[in-house]
Chain A
């Protein structure tokens, strides 16, 4: 079974802090994604990566950056956290090429910025 793990289930930070959210997948997937989930807005794509050191902006990249130094790990960085970044953050991975279309999600990190 594909496993996507996220470093924290719950996180509380203060405005202006730098925040790191870590995601690790164990299926050698090329593609990794970061979404945020807010009530009534569904899942919105922040950033994604097709390969190590590659990144692409999603629909709402402002205020975020990402890092992918190793294939299995994709980090989301909030350079200076703000209260409007309080949300559920979901990481996902997907195989590349003809490996399938299924995106596998982690359990999520609920981030609260005070």
Chain B
């Protein structure tokens, strides 16, 4: 019930393409769904987050799509750039410690 399943494990995208990372959760009590971005040698940093009262949230090139009935949410990175190459983690919580997915290593190649 506490798991968050993330896919794919790794992703290679051409510069300018769209990167899509998917997550699924089991606990319907979760009400906060963030995505974290981690560069090598750094701690994870919050990228964007959504609550289940909306189906989509956009911040610049980054969009979260949320499907409450399917218990799934995804991160879309539009116009992917080499600087977006990093590991991305989805997570979920309800005023508890975040439960993280296992991460997706994104490589954007020119």
Q: Residues of A at under 8 Å CB distance from B? A: 4, 33, 35, 40-45, 48, 58, 90, 92, 101-108
CB distance from A56 to the nearest CB of B (A): 8
Residue pair A102, B97 in contact (C-beta under 8 Å)? no
Contacts of B93 in A (CB 8 A): 101
Given contacts A35-B100, A42-B100, 4 further A-B contacts (CB under 8 A): A43-B44, A102-B49, A103-B98, A108-B41
Residue pair B45, A42 in contact (C-beta under 8 Å)? no
Q: A90-B43, A107-B42 are in contact. Are A101 and B101 (CB under 8 A)?
A: no
Residue pair A4, B43 in contact (C-beta under 8 Å)? yes
Q: A42-B103, A101-B34, A102-B49 are in contact. Are A48 and B97 (CB under 8 A)?
A: yes
Chain B residues 1 to 33 lying within 8 A of chain A, measured CB to CB, are 6, 9, 32
CB distance from B29 to the nearest CB of A (A): 14
Contacts of B100 in A (CB 8 A): 35, 42-44
Q: Residues of B at under 8 Å CB distance from A? A: 6, 9, 32, 34, 36, 41-46, 49, 89, 93, 95, 97-103
A35 to B101, CA, bound (A): 13
Contacts of B44 in A (CB 8 A): 43, 90, 105
CB distance from A76 to the nearest CB of B (A): 14
Residue pair A105, B43 in contact (C-beta under 8 Å)? yes
Q: A40-B102, A41-B102, A43-B89 are in contact. Are A101 and B49 (CB under 8 A)?
A: yes
Contacts of A43 in B (CB 8 A): 44, 89, 100, 103
